[in-house]
Structure 1
Amino acid sequence: MHSWVDGLPAHGLASLKDRGLAYGDGLFETVAVKAGRPVLLELHMQRLVLGCSRLAITADQSLIRSEVLAYAQAMGEGVLKLILTRGDSLRGYAACPEAQPRRILQASPAPAYPLAHALEGVQLFDCATRLAEQPLLAGLKHLNRLEQVIARSEWQDPAYAEGLMRDTSGRVIEGVFSNLFLVRDGVLITADLQRCGVAGVMRAALLSEAERLAIPCHVTDISVEQLQQADELFVCNSVYGIWPVRGVAGLSWPVGPLTRKLQSIARTLLDV
């Protein structure tokens, strides 16, 4: 299926002057599409609106929503990538005041992850790459993903399904393409993302579900020592749902009951 640029089918590069290409000046969302429906669209749009506010990108959110709905309907199944850039400008960091944000929609097949990842759990690679602290960008899914690109290049062994990322102070933050939760004494714990990291859509959905079900939950700094003390560990994102974590850096965990409970909820949320 052809990509769309500003609502129209595109057959090549949008623009060589685009600031998203030149500087990573923009945002993106990765949306699962099932039966022509963009899954968890409201949460994706909420994060996009927050990102536009932080980056001072003025975009027509109603238009973006309508284009995503139409594109997803045409796709049927797969993964929709929405890219929103600040638009074109001349050379230099200063943005052109007249620049119009550019909307790009791309379709990809749904990834064929092994069923064992969800059923039996996964091993995480302990990444050496550290996440820099930048509160202004923390939580956003902005276009500059060099930290994740470098971290993902650290391993090629298929025995590792994901990588564990920490910040420059050694705090445990997230996976390379997922968020991380641990369980300790029945309490659900996930990292505070006010300094760095991506506030994932599935993470937001699970926090909401935990509150609805009265599952105790803490959003806080996580140390390596807390990982050692955890009863359960899992990673999540809005495409695959939840994968239990069986091991990382010499530590190991069973697939626990709260992980299984939330995994079932995630399947319902993703309609799988």
Structure 2
Amino acid sequence: MQSWVDGQPASALASLKDRGLAYGDGLFETIAVKAGTPLLLELHLQRLAQGCSRLAIVADQSLIRSELLAYAHAMGEGVLKLILTRGDSQRGYGISPGAMPRRILQASPAAAWPEANALHGITLFDCATRLAEQPLLAGLKHLNRLEQVIARSEWQDPACAEGLMRDTSGRVIEGVFSNLFIVRDGVLLTADLRRCGVAGVMRAALLAEAGRLGIPCHVTDISLAQLQQADELFLCNSVYGIWPVRAFADLSWPVGPLTRKLQGIARTLLDV
């Protein structure tokens, strides 16, 4: 399906003055689409609005919503990517007061992940790349993703489906393209993302569902020692749902009951 730029079929070339291209000045959302419906849309739009507020990008949220719905309906099935940039400007970091945000919508086929990832769990690679601590950008899905690009380049072994990322202080934060949860004594733990990391949409949905079901859950700093002592470990994102972690370094875990329970919830959230 052809990409849209500002609600119209895309031209062959992007603007060379776009600040998203020049500085990574913008945000993005990756949204699963089924039967013409963008899944977890409200959570995606909430995160986008928070990012716009933090970066002072004045975007028409109602227009974005309507374009997402129309594009998803035309797609039918697959993965929709929204890129929102600050728009064009002249050379220099300074923001032009009259800059108009640019909306880019792209379609991709549904991800063909191996079923074994969800069923039996994955092996997690230990990334050497560390996430820099920047509270002003923490949690946002902004366009500056070089840390993840570098981390993902660290391994080519297909036996590892994801990589573990820590911050510069050694705290466990997330996967390269997913959020991480650990289970210890029936308590669900996920990393505090006020310094760095991406506040994932599926992470937010699972935290809400855990609260609704009365599952003890804490957002907190997680050390490598805590990860090593976990009873269960899993990763999540808004496209694949939940992958149990079977192995990391010389450690291994079973696919535990709480992981399976939440996996069923995630599967429901990604269905229509």
Residue of structure 2 in register with 1:196 after alignment = 196
Matches of 2:11 and 2:32 in 1, distance apart?
A: 23
Residue of structure 2 in register with 1:90 after alignment = 90
Residue of structure 2 in register with 1:110 after alignment = 110
Residues 1:169 and 2:169 aligned together: yes
Residue of structure 2 in register with 1:124 after alignment = 124
What RMSD, in angstroms, separates the aligned Cα atoms of the two structures? 0.6
Matches of 1:100 and 1:170 in 2, distance apart?
A: 40
Displacement of 1:14 in angstroms is 2.4
Matches of 1:10 and 1:45 in 2, distance apart?
A: 22
SS at match of 1:225: helix
Matches of 1:80 and 1:252 in 2, distance apart?
A: 34
SS at match of 1:264: helix
Residues 1:181 and 2:181 aligned together: yes
More displaced 10-residue stretch of structure 1: 7-16 or 87-96? 7-16
Matches of 2:187 and 2:122 in 1, distance apart?
A: 21
Matches of 1:41 and 1:81 in 2, distance apart?
A: 12
Residue of structure 2 in register with 1:214 after alignment = 214
SS at match of 1:11: coil
Matches of 2:6 and 2:270 in 1, distance apart?
A: 27
Matches of 1:89 and 1:12 in 2, distance apart?
A: 20
Matches of 2:90 and 2:11 in 1, distance apart?
A: 23
Q: Report runs of 4+ in structure 1 exceeding 6 Å deviation.
A: none
Contact 1:28 1:81 in 2 (8 A): yes
Displacement of 1:12 in angstroms is 1.7
Aligned residues, how many?
272
Residues 1:243 and 2:243 aligned together: yes
Displacement of 1:98 in angstroms is 0.7
TM-score (norm 1): 0.99
Corresponding letter in the other structure for 2:144 = N
Alignment of 1:127-166 (within 5 A): 127-166=127-166
* Identity over aligned pairs, percent: 85
Matches of 1:126 and 1:198 in 2, distance apart?
A: 18
Matches of 2:96 and 2:230 in 1, distance apart?
A: 50
SS at match of 2:247: strand
Contact 1:179 1:200 in 2 (8 A): yes
Structure 2 segments unaligned to the other structure (5+ residues): none
SS at match of 2:59: coil
Matches of 2:38 and 2:175 in 1, distance apart?
A: 23
Matches of 2:150 and 2:108 in 1, distance apart?
A: 23
Matches of 1:203 and 1:13 in 2, distance apart?
A: 35
Displacement of 1:13 in angstroms is 2.5
Contact 1:5 1:14 in 2 (8 A): no
Contact 1:2 1:11 in 2 (8 A): no
SS at match of 2:266: helix
Residue of structure 2 in register with 1:78 after alignment = 78
Matches of 1:250 and 1:218 in 2, distance apart?
A: 26
- Cα deviation, 1:235-270, whole Å, max 9, x if unaligned, reads 000000000001112111110000000000000000
Residue of structure 2 in register with 1:4 after alignment = 4
Corresponding letter in the other structure for 1:139 = G
Matches of 1:259 and 1:33 in 2, distance apart?
A: 24
Matches of 1:91 and 1:248 in 2, distance apart?
A: 45
